[in-house]
Amino acid sequence: MSGILSAQGPGRYTFFGGAVLGSPSGFVGGAGVSFGLTHNLTFDPSVAIGRSGHSGLFTLDGSFHYEFHPDDAAFVPYVLAGVGLAQWGSDTSGSALIGVGARIPLHHDMWIVPEVRAGAHGLGRFTIGISKSF
- Cβ partners under 8 Å of residue 90, min gap 6: none
Identify the pLDDT of residue 8. 53
Nearest alpha carbon to residue 120 among 94, 85, 95: 95
Identify the pLDDT of residue 46. 96
28 and 57 Cβ atoms separated by less than 8 Å: yes
- Cβ partners under 8 Å of residue 119, min gap 6: 84, 86, 93, 95, 96, 97
Q: Residue 7 in 3-state DSSP?
A: helix
User: What Rg value do the Cα atoms of the chain yield, rounded?
Assistant: 15
Domains and CATH numbers, the chain: 4-133 (2.40.160.20)
CA 98/CA 68 separation, integer angstroms: 16
47 and 33 Cβ atoms separated by less than 8 Å: no
Residues of the chain with pLDDT under 50: 1-7
Question: pTM of the prediction?
Answer: 0.85
Residues 14-52 have pLDDT tens digits of 999 999 887 778 999 999 999 999 989 999 999 999 998
